[in-house]
Chains A and B, each alone.
Chain A
């Protein structure tokens, strides 16, 4: 069965993706710094289709060895879902430089380096699917999310050019841009703010983690065969 690596797989969108893919018959390796209760429960319920492997992706120098370790243990990696990320909010003028750096490092540098080490084996194998989790903030604006928005725009730019680079080897590269979804990453948003965003959305509601997980499943499956270099917005019509 195809191996799929899901970063940030212990919580939120990543956990929903990992759980759904394991249920769909993929062999899923969920990567995070620590295993959460929720992920441990999903691993137990998965009949050995879902595995947790610890890696702090912010430590760039550890990524090549981690990629090798996963490949040595599980074999060829068919799918890579770059989902891990920080959602640090802050006005640019007052954000600490270390916060800005950490955000760019984990949201931009880490997935690019991890993709390098996973993708070149996909190239040697002649098949693979890469999915980068971006955000609608990559193409729209939101107060207090300028650095986060920059990192998510980086994800879509990376997606398009990499799709060109690896397409002739049968590898697809796509991005998903979710709108506001209730996870720990967006816990700072007040109930009122949440209602306001839902009210401004065409469908008058917020999307949930499962919607993103279904799109990932589609892109990994037969349906995604001829889809590459594009961005899928899942925002219940918030930016429509």
Chain B
């Protein structure tokens, strides 16, 4: 499974658990519009760390969280090996 697929699957799984109705996940969708609150994002980052073995936001020196779904996925795709 590609990183992109794993990330989107995790988003959908958490949406189900947190009873969030997701809009269609396109790259341009703002993370605010996903309906996720900060707790849901914390869970997402923790789950992905378990699954992919990385937390790109700890490695990154940039303190800003991504703005869109596309940026979020790319953060995981572009982790240096």
Q: Give A contacts to B, CB under 8 Å.
A: 64, 68, 71, 120-121, 123-124, 165-166, 168-169
| A119 to chain B: closest residue by CB | B42
CB distance from A141 to the nearest CB of B (A): 36
Residues in A with CB closer than 8 Å to B78 are none
Within 8 A of A (CB), among B1-59: 39, 42-43, 45-47, 49-50, 55, 58
Interface residues of A, dominant DSSP: helix
Residues in A with CB closer than 8 Å to B47 are 124
Residues in A with CB closer than 8 Å to B49 are 68, 121
CB distance from B55 to the nearest CB of A (A): 7
Q: Do the beta carbons of B43 and A120 come within 8 Å of each other?
A: yes
CA A165 to CA B47, docked complex, whole Å: 18
Q: Do the beta carbons of B46 and A169 come within 8 Å of each other?
A: no
Q: Do the beta carbons of B55 and A123 come within 8 Å of each other?
A: no
CB distance from A128 to the nearest CB of B (A): 11
Residues in B with CB closer than 8 Å to A168 are 39
Residues in A with CB closer than 8 Å to B46 are 120-121, 123-124
Interface residues of B, dominant DSSP: helix
CA A71 to CA B50, docked complex, whole Å: 9
User: Which 6 pairs of residues, A with B, have the shortest CB-CB distance?
Assistant: A124-B46, A120-B46, A124-B43, A120-B42, A64-B58, A121-B46
Q: Do the beta carbons of A169 and B39 come within 8 Å of each other?
A: yes
Q: Could you jot down 24 A-B contacts, CB within 8 Å?
A: A64-B55, A64-B58, A68-B49, A71-B50, A120-B42, A120-B43, A120-B45, A120-B46, A121-B46, A121-B49, A121-B50, A123-B39, A123-B42, A123-B43, A123-B46, A124-B43, A124-B46, A124-B47, A124-B50, A165-B39, A166-B39, A168-B39, A169-B39, A169-B43
Residues in B with CB closer than 8 Å to A121 are 46, 49-50
Residues in B with CB closer than 8 Å to A64 are 55, 58
Residues in A with CB closer than 8 Å to B55 are 64
Residues in A with CB closer than 8 Å to B43 are 120, 123-124, 169
CA A169 to CA B46, docked complex, whole Å: 14
